[in-house]
Structure 1
Amino acid sequence: MGDLYALDFDGILCDSCGESSLSAVKAAKVRWPSLFEGVDSSSEEWIVDQMHLVRPVVETGYENVLLVRLLLEIKFPSIRKSSVSEGLVVNQILENWAGIKPVIMAEWDEDKEALIDLFGEIRDEWIENDFASWISANRFYPGVPDALKFSSSKIYIVTTKQSRFADALLRNLAGVTVPPERIYGLGTGPKVEVLKQLQDMPEHKGLTLQ
C-alpha cells in the first residue's frame, strides 16, 4: 500500500544549529541584558562555537537560551549565579543536561513557557527585519529537498520547532510545500502521541509508518 513518513526537522532534514545558536544569543541578551555588559564580539563568537558542541542535548528550542547563559557563566566566573557552572566542561553538559537543566531553571528563577515565547519572538523579529540572513543561517542537508519534492510516500513533519518556522524554511530554503495540516510543531503534544494519532487516522489505513 505504501509508506507514511513522519520526519523530525532539526538535525534530520535541516541543519539549523547556526540559526538557533544566534537566535539564542539574541534572546539571552534581551532576557539578561546586564550579564552581557562588557561581553565583546569575540566572546559571543566563542559562545556560538561552543553551542555547536552542546547542541545534541537540545530537545526544544528554548533550551538554547539556557545553554547560552550557562556558557556565559562558565567563561565569566564573576557573573555566576548557578551552583553547577563552576568547573563545568562541555562533556559534562552533554552527559548530564537532564540533571543540570532543572537546577539552573530553579536557581535563575526561569519559566519554561516565558522562554519559549521569547525565543519565538526573537525569531519572528529577525525574520521580519532581515529574512534573508535568517534563512541563510540554516541549511538543508544535501539531497533532502529533492527527496521531499519527489517522494511518492505521504510525508509529515513532527518537530519540537514551532510550525511557522519549519514551514518558512521548507518553502523558502528547500522550495518544498508541506500542507500545514501535515506539520506538527511545538505545542501539538509529545511526539509519541502525535505518531500514534497519525497511525490511527483512517486515511492512513494500510500505510506503514516509518
Structure 2
Amino acid sequence: MGDLYALDFDGVLCDSCGESSLSAVKAAKVRWPGLFDGVDSATEDWIVDQMHIVRPIVETGYENVLLVRLLLEMRMSSIRKSSVAEGLTIDGILESWSKIKPVIMEEWGENRETLVDLFGKVRDEWMDKDLGTWIAANRFYPGVPDALQLASSSIFIVTTKQSRFADALLQKLAGVTIPHEKIYGLGTGPKVEVLKQLQKRPEHQGLKLHFVEDRLATLKNVIKEPELDGWNLYLGDWGYNTKKEREEAASISRIEILQLSDFTKKLK
C-alpha cells in the first residue's frame, strides 16, 4: 500500500496572487485600452490590493481580468458600463461572483476563450521578456519545495492553471521537476474527471488516494460524485478561501481541514 496525492497548484503549492493580479492588469490594458486612459498608479495599486482579497472566488485565471475591470468600474463611475458595479462592495463580489460573472461577460460582450488566450499570451510575453520578475512575483508556500523533493508518495498536479506556467514555476522557483504527464492543467477537463482517470489506472489500484484543494466548491463537486468516494479530501486552510468557507468545510464529514505544516509532513 502506498499513497497518491492529487494536488491543486495555486493556493496549495504556490501563492501566485501577486503575479496573476499584475498579469490581469496588463491583460485588461490590452483588452480595453481606452478604459485605462488616465488611470493613475495609485488606482492600479488599489486594484492589485483588492485582487488579493477577492482571490478566493477565482476558479480559472481569466476571471482575474474580469475582476480588474470590475474593480476599475467600481472605483471610477465615469467609465462604468456594467449594471452591477454601482454600489458593489468587495464583500458583494465575494458573496455573489457566480451571479455577477455571467452578467458582466454579456454586458461587456466577452467570451471565455478569448480571455483565456489573452491571459496566457500576456503571461508568455512577460516570461519571454523578463522571466526573473515573472518568477519573483510568485512564491511557494514555506516547506512545500522540500516536501515535493522528498515525497515518497506518487504526486500529481491537478490545476486550472495552464500547465506550462505550473511547470515553469516548479522548475525555476521550487527546483522541482514533475513529469509533464503528471501535470493536469487547463484544458485537461474538470478536476472530478481527472480524479476519475487517476483512480482507474491499473498502476494506482491499492493506493490510498488524497486530494488537496483550497476551493471548497471543488471539493463539494467531488463529494457529489459517488464514483469518487474513495478519495480522502482536504481543504488547505493556508490557501485562497474565506473563514466562512472553512467553517462550512469543518461541518462536512468528508472534508478534513489541513494546516500547511501537516500537509508538508504528509507529503514526506
TM over 0.5: yes
Unaligned runs of 5+ in 2: 211-268
Q: Partner residue of 1:6?
A: 6
Q: Give yes or no for the alignment of 1:186 onto 2:200.
A: no
SS at match of 2:60: coil
Q: With structure 2 as the length reference, what TM-score do the two structures score? A: 0.78
**Aligned alpha-carbon RMSD (Å):** 0.4
Q: Report 1:1-210 matches (<5 A).
A: 1-210=1-210
Structure 1 residue 203: Cα displacement? 1.0
Structure 1 residue 37: Cα displacement? 0.2
* Structure with more relative contact order (C-alpha pairs < 8 Å, separation 6 or more): 1
Q: Give the distance between the partners of 2:146 and 2:73, measured in 1 at CA.
A: 43
Structure 1 residue 206: Cα displacement? 1.0
Letter in 1 for 2:32: W
Q: Give the distance between the partners of 1:207 and 1:168, measured in 2 at CA.
A: 29
Q: Give the distance between the partners of 2:85 and 2:77, measured in 1 at CA.
A: 8
Structure 1 residue 205: Cα displacement? 1.1
Q: With structure 1 as the length reference, what TM-score do the two structures score? A: 1.00
SS at match of 1:50: helix
Letter in 2 for 1:170: L
Letter in 2 for 1:156: F
Runs of 4+ with >4 A deviation: none
Aligned residues: 210
Q: Give the distance between the partners of 1:57 and 1:184, measured in 2 at CA.
A: 21
Report % sequence identity. 76
Deviations along 1:10-49, one digit per CA (max 9) or x if unpaired, are 0000000000000000000000000000001111111000
Letter in 2 for 1:144: V
Unaligned runs of 5+ in 1: none
Q: Give the distance between the partners of 2:123 and 2:199, measured in 1 at CA.
A: 32
Deviations along 1:164-199, one digit per CA (max 9) or x if unpaired, are 000000000000000000000000000000001001
